[in-house]
Chains A and B, each alone.
Chain A
Amino acid sequence: MSYTEQDLRKVLAERSTGGDGGPARLDAIARKGRALRRRRRWAAGLTVVAVAATGASLLSPLLRDTATVEVAAPVTAQPPREEGKRLAGARYETAGELRRVTLTPLSAKTSFRVSCIAGLRVFIRQENAVQSDLCGSLTNGGPQLHMMGSLTTRPGVPITVDVVALPAKAVDGDPQDGAAEMERLLKAVRPTPSLWEVAVHDGGISTRSCSPDICDSGTLPAGGGEDNLAGLPPSNGTVPKSSSMVGKAVKVVDADGMASRTVIRCPGTDLHAYLWEKDRLVMSAPCGATPAIWDDPRPASHTLRAMVVPKALVRDGDAPEPADLQQRVKPETGPRWTVAVQPVPAGPVAPPPVGD
């Protein structure tokens, strides 16, 4: 006697008919959805205090055709209740290599957050204990996942934590298998370009200070007042414009007359990003794990146009105008990419530090 796949199907079908799951309670689902949303907002430490309605009315004529970057409501920098001082933080541009983070805890409660730009499987090893979780958006347009957890600490006793991030699709095994599995995968997977960061804080942890070149959503100073690890200006005033079209321009407007930083995130290594101010090419950069960034120090409003095209169409020394390029490229559906214009406060913008 041996079991067949049909036996398996029968068992699953029979066992799952033991109850009907009860009636669907839409009100309860919506109530829970609202509670989850509130909790998420609280976790991000964001409190909306006012809405800049005038901005929208001023922008509307410009945004009529290709609605673009929205200027979000101003938010207060209210810190999360439990997130304490940052004890360690580092950014990395490679997945598949072991990273080591050393810190001296301030208390018995120490928390970490790993944020990634695209689907990674992260392992955190403290002595013999290994934690593992998914990190980053696993699919185009999917939710941003952070790996968050706590470390075993005693005040004043330094600890060293090993961190490994691997492409999620390369992980072939149950991540609960622990240290042995982590070591095996580390040897089996070749290092690849990526972008991820680790932040360790005293007390609790939140996602609010995730660097804006990794997270879609806005960032604010961490609980201890620390800036995001990329050193980028907070993006809480910006909602990125996303597109799934390759070869079709997206118009973005820097509307508030401040200096700005334009960030194009296009994860495909076979793609190339262009950015124009009117018809003048201001940025031409390959897509990949790291975002393409253009800083404009001029405190003025500009209309920008971004386009992502197949890398095969890019010619050396080429500085095409949008109309010319549009004629050469047939728009088609591709991976999701985003463009965001971040207002930059007065003062120089620090270059993004990288831990590698």
Chain B
Amino acid sequence: MSDGFADYVAQRHARLCRTAYLLTRDWGTAEDLVQTALAKAWGAWRRIEGDPDPYVYRIIANTHASWWRRRWRGEVPTEVIPDVVESRDFTHEVNQRDALWTAIGGLSRRQRAVVVLHYFEEMTLPQVAEVLGCSLSTVKTQAARALARLRVNGGVREIRETVKG
């Protein structure tokens, strides 16, 4: 095993999975994404100088983006047709954070990556730009659009209106 790779995985795996989950919103996919990213990093480990985090995060973001483009994202086949009738009144049950979480899911993959890296990984915007391989202005634009979109998202607006009413 490459020098320091095992230590890095031991220390960072759980955190990387959390980040990947926020990008993919599915634990199985997140684990697969992290394993793929680490496998790619493993192949280049000796060439990585300094902190490997930016390199690994970049692989995660790029791999996630490529999966988004290439993988089939249709419905999941099931033998049992799910019951779509819901008797509960969600108007009062959906809490604000659920609505915000739903709204985050509506962001584009790039906007979501910016939000996750900045607000979850606490990276500065220049660090986010470095990880995503784009300019600082692009990151700022994406962050501004993401925040604007979260504010006007249907689910969020509904909560606001409910609270106001």
Instruction: Give the B-binding residues of A (Cβ under 8 A).
Output: 1-3, 5, 7-26, 28-30, 32-33, 35-37, 119, 133-134, 138-139, 141-143, 168-174, 176
- CB of B133 closer than 8 Å to a CB of A: yes
List of A residues within 8 angstroms of B44 by Cβ: 143
Are A26 and B6 touching (Cβ within 8 A)?
yes
Mark out the residues of chain B between 23 and 78 whose CB falls within 8 Å of any chain A CB in the assembled complex. 27, 30-31, 34-36, 38-40, 42-44, 47, 62, 69
In the complex, which residue of chain B has the Cβ closest to the Cβ of A145?
B62
**Distance A313 CA – B24 CA, assembled complex (angstroms):** 50
Chain A's nearest CB lies how many Å from the CB of B31?
5
Q: Which 4 A-B pairs have the closest CB atoms?
A: A21-B17, A32-B39, A24-B13, A16-B18
Interface size on B, residues (CB 8 A): 55
Q: Which of A11, A12, A36 contacts B43 (CB 8 A)?
A: A36
Q: Is the CB of A21 within 8 A of B39?
A: no
- A16 to B135, Cβ gap below 8 A? no
Query: What's the nearest-Cβ distance from chain B to residue A212, in Å?
Result: 20
Are A9's CB and B160's CB within 8 A?
A: no
Q: Which residue of the partner chain, among B1, B35, B138, B151, contacts A2 with CB atoms under 8 Å?
A: B151
- List A contacts of B120 (CB < 8 A): 9, 12-13, 16
Given B18, B21, B42, B156, which contacts A30 in the complex, CB threshold below 8 Å? B42
- Which residues of B have CB within 8 Å of A173? 138, 141
- In the complex, what residues of B have CB within 8 A of residue A138's CB? 133
Bound complex: CA A250 to CA B13 (Å)? 39
Q: Write out the residue numbers on chain B whose beta carbons fall within 8 Å of the beta carbon of A7.
A: 96-97, 100
A9-B119, A11-B101, A21-B17 are known contacts. Are A2 and B40 too (CB-CB below 8 A)?
no
CA distance A37 to B40 in the complex (A): 8
A21–B96 alpha-carbon span in the complex (Å): 26
The answer to whether the Cβ of B124 comes within 8 Å of any Cβ in the partner chain is no
Complex contact B133–A168 (CB within 8 A): yes
Chain A residues, CB < 8 A from B97: 7, 10-11, 14
Write the nearest CB–CB distance from B88 to chain A, whole angstroms: 21
In the docked arrangement, what's the CA distance between A36 and B36, Å? 9
| Pairwise interchain contact B30-A21, C-beta atoms closer than 8 A | yes
Contacts of B100 in A (CB 8 A): 3, 7-8, 11
A–B complex contacts, Cβ < 8 Å, 15 sampled = A3-B150, A7-B97, A15-B21, A16-B120, A19-B17, A22-B31, A32-B35, A33-B43, A36-B40, A36-B43, A139-B133, A143-B44, A168-B133, A169-B134, A174-B110
Nearest CB of A to B103, in Å: 9
* Minimum CB distance partner of A32 in chain B: B39
B116 at the interface (CB under 8 A from A): yes
Measured CB to CB, the closest approach of chain A to B28, in angstroms, equals: 9
Question: Which of A1, A37, A173 has the largest number of chain B CB atoms within 10 A?
Answer: A1
B108 contacts A33, CB within 8 Å? no
